[in-house]
Amino acid sequence: MDNEARLSKGQRTKQQILERATQVFRENGFQDSSIVSIAARIGITPASIYKYFDNKEAIYNELAVTFKNMMVENVAAAVDERLSVSDNIANIVRAYVSTIRDNTALYDTFRQIEFVNLTLAKAYYRQLTGTIRACLGKKARPDIDTETVAYAIVGSIYFVVIQSLLWGNGSGMVPEDIVPMVLNGIDARGDFVPYILPRKRWVDPEKPAATQGELTRRNILLAAERLFGENGYHKTHTTDIARASGVGLGTIYLYFDSKKEMLAELVSRVNHLLRACSSEYARPYIDRREIENAGFQAFFDVFEDRGEDYRIVREAEFVEKSVGISYYQKIAEPYARGLDVAIERGEIIDIHPLLLSYALMGAGHTVGIRWYVIEKGQQLDDRAVLSMLQYVMHGVRGVLKETE
């Protein structure tokens, strides 16, 4: 009886550690959390935690594996072979949303996974998209890259869920309302055929430095950009940036108060660059479907040349939450206004425009994760791009051999 009681008490303590660690990781980010801060939240000594976990990585990994397995199992359970592909995909979307709705704190912690345990992140995406690919199966058209479509489907709900359930800026958005877009795409007229645009080598349209000081500041930012992209924000020290930019540590602080200030400026520059590139690609077009066809290709072209910036933007959200949120909002809000006009013109399906903007951003985002994180080093080919665009325009039904 005593052994059983001690075991029961130990299990309760371990569960309490995991629960408090979830709160600490969510509030502070993994990198800025510690065993000491977790112990303080519980009111026990750090030594008590070490009886159960070797380090904070072990705690995080247990939480991440718990969420990964839960999500993968819930999504797999949503599939019924007796149903159509469309019905199964709709059920997968709802299962994804409900899993996060019921476990928001755990999911908010899990979202840092690619910066903590990339191997586990890869397993999560491969298992999740694998279930979707199995649904599409032999019913997908032979010219369709089903893996790209599967990532795009996950992405269609990624930011919608985050905006609605985590960031609290959803403006009344209901995540499940994105299902019609997932199934039918955005093309209200149903006759748009995606096509590949000539590739543009996009260069940051920055003016030449007018003074030596401007040149020094720019060189510091370029060094920070390269090092953040290659090694991550937390593994890059200000001394590394000084060395890479060829200046003394004191010179860095003449231009930037902190490493976070450099990160915020880099994120702002990426935002400006992406919007400028998208505008340039979309300039010749009026029909919103043409604009979307061009915009996605602009997104992929920018980050194919500047893959390190993709990581920087992603990581910024977990270093300084307000920077990440601001980055996405600055894209989503004007995006939604353009979609709203296109909805009124009958070009785009009638759906909450802000909801749709986050869905489209998310679709590009997760396809980007596939190519710039999961399959890093491989080139995004035309078949993958056209598959993505076919899904965006015509949904799941548009990538199947026969209309259901």
Which residue, chain included where needed, has tokens 């009111």? 43
Assess contact for 123 and 68: CB atoms under 8 A: yes
What are phi and psi for residue 151, nearest 5 degrees? -65, -40
**pLDDT mean over 359-372:** 89
What are phi and psi for residue 183, nearest 5 degrees? -80, -35
What are phi and psi for residue 83, nearest 5 degrees? -95, 165
**SS3 of 230-253:** HHCCCCCCHHHHHHHHCCCHHHHH
Q: What is the Cα 213 distance to its own chain's centre?
A: 36
pLDDT score at 10: 79
pLDDT score at 204: 60
pLDDT digits (tens, 9 = 90+) for 300-340: 888 776 767 778 888 888 888 888 788 888 888 899 999 99
Domains of the chain and any CATH numbers = 1-54 (1.10.10.60), 68-186+349-404 (no CATH), 191-347 (1.10.357.10)
Q: Report the share of the chain in percent with pLDDT over 90.
A: 70
Which are the contacts of 212, defined by CB distance < 8 A and separation ≥ 6? Answer: none
Strand partners, 187: 348
Q: What is the Cα 366 distance to its own chain's centre?
A: 6
Residues 44 and 59: their CA atoms lie apart, in Å, by: 16
Whether residue 171 is predicted with pLDDT greater than 70 in this model: the reply is no
Assess contact for 323 and 316: CB atoms under 8 A: yes
Listing DSSP states for 132-152 in one string gives HHHHHGGGB-TT--HHHHHHH
Residue 51 vs residue 374, higher pLDDT: 51
Confidence of residue 199 (pLDDT cuts 50, 70, 90): confident
Q: Using the 8-state DSSP alphabet, how is residue 175 labeled? A: G
Q: Using the 8-state DSSP alphabet, how is residue 9 labeled? A: H
Task: Count the alpha carbons within 13 Å of 366 in the hemisphere toward its beta carbon.
Answer: 28
Range with lowest mean pLDDT among 28-42, 124-138, 323-337: 323-337
Whether residue 3 is predicted with pLDDT greater than 60 in this model: the reply is no
Whether residue 88 is predicted with pLDDT greater than 70 in this model: the reply is yes
pLDDT digits (tens, 9 = 90+) for 252-276: 999 999 999 999 999 888 888 888 8
Assess contact for 63 and 116: CB atoms under 8 A: no
Instruction: Using alpha carbons, list the distances in angstroms from residue 175 to 77, 111, 207, 316, 396.
Output: 20, 18, 42, 24, 18
What are phi and psi for residue 252, nearest 5 degrees? -55, -45
